[in-house]
Structure 1
Amino acid sequence: MTPDRLAPYARLPRAYHDLRLLHSTVDAFGRAHWLLRTPEETPGPYDAMVVTVDDGASYETALSSVTARHPKVDSLPDGGFVVADARSRAGDEQVQVFDALGRPSWTFRVGDAIEHLLTDESGDLWIGYFDEGVFGDDPLSAAGARRWSATGEALWEYRPPPGGDWIADCYALNVDRRVAWVYPYTSFPLVEVRDSRPPRLRTTPVRGASGVAVDGERVAFLGGYRRDRDRVVLASLGEATVDVLSTSRVACADGTPLDRPRQVVSRGPRLYVRDRSSTEWDVLDIGGG
């Protein structure tokens, strides 16, 4: 059974609440990060700060000369960070890699219309694109989901497995230790991606979810269209299908309804959920431990 509320996970310390929140995420190691800058708008590159909360303790990393206007952030295993601009034009090197001291070290391009940016434990970047990138004029985002190295080398791109369609919009992307899961519009299959195997497609009856968690043979889908934003569908992995076991509803950790569009980060058996203007992360964990 699923709980009727998410569990509180991490919050930005109050000392940083006067800064402007640009983006937030939870990384492959379970650390929460907030990308912040001063409220004043300045033209051109700007200085920013990443505040990290790890098991209740917090620390900050100053980033210099950030260029992204619509930034998405994640961490790298060497202590650095990657910041990508979700929207870009041909020729823009919209990904910046920062070292552990916050200094820019690499720039490269990954395509327009980034919906999901998730780094894995090795530091590779997994990116899911929304429809304006898939159907735009940028060939780098046309595949709908791709994997890149932290220096900009293209490592993998989605190609429909047997019985599958091309991605029109990457609704959910789960990046775990050795596997990624892609949940794309329009037919909403669940596609398993492992390094040494061809992608494996399983059909699902679940439409419009914004997050997917996987623990062994167990799966949870969070969200859906309109009145189903608070829906949790528990299912099991079959050979070629995802079979629904139960459907329930869930609220935020403080009891408020989960009825607004929210950011969801899918990491293995966990779904991290944040109101897009909030400084707090909640979690739904289907792990067996």
Structure 2
Amino acid sequence: MCTFFFTFCVLVGALMCYSMHGELEESLNLGLTEAIRFYKDTDTPGRCFLKRTVDLLQIEFKCCGNNGYKDWFQIQWISNRYLDMSKKDVRVSDLVISYQDRLRSNVQGKYLMDGVPFSCCNINSPRPCIQQQISNNSAHFNYEHQTEELNLWMKGCRQALLEYYTHIVQSIGLTVLITWLFELSVLTGVRYLQTSLENGLRQGDLNSESDGWLLENGLMETARINLNIIKNIGKCNQIDTANNGDPNIDVPSSSIAH
């Protein structure tokens, strides 16, 4: 019974490897969003490692941002330590004239711009990486940001990590599933061997042919019998108090009164 239960748990584990895709994607999305948001906090204890971690992530997995490189446009990823607040394009401005001005203005105390960290640069780009004023075609010679797919990594890190971990999880799930099928075949063969030997012993001749089976009774009947066995496991150690409620009534005295 325990062996079949263990085999069932192995099957459940294999199926879970294929059913956790949504939870994995949600966790990656939340984690990457928080990591990018705190990218600039290089002087904050507990967050100072995030910049290096995100940069290594984007370089290794050839990705940029959470969903794409435009995610960096929506946050301030440069620390205030490296911003000259005396400059006009850095100071807080309530006047937003155009899309470009909005990106370069300080919105709600955050310095936003259409730029990305260096780790977003595509190493296969035939030209020097353009990581500042990405949306401004006139700022760069012979440049069209809507067609320059080789300049930055276009894939978001969430998608890159999801593909990476999905491949690992599915490989593990396939391995576990194959292991489960092997265990099931072994258990089936052993069960047939056990029951056929029992029938041979009952016939008194182990060399004669005898039938074997997986379940002596029906499936529901077998499940009910095993359930009753589990329920009665601890009953053999219970004290019988049926005789006048005294558990020691049948225990002989070890001493004789004088």
TM-score interval w.r.t. the shorter chain?
under 0.3
Larger Cα-atom Rg: 2
Greater length-normalized contact order (CA 8 Å, ≥ 6 residues apart)? 2
More strand by share: 1
User: Please, what TM-score do these two structures have when normalized by structure 2?
Assistant: 0.21
Q: TM-score, normalised by structure 1?
A: 0.19
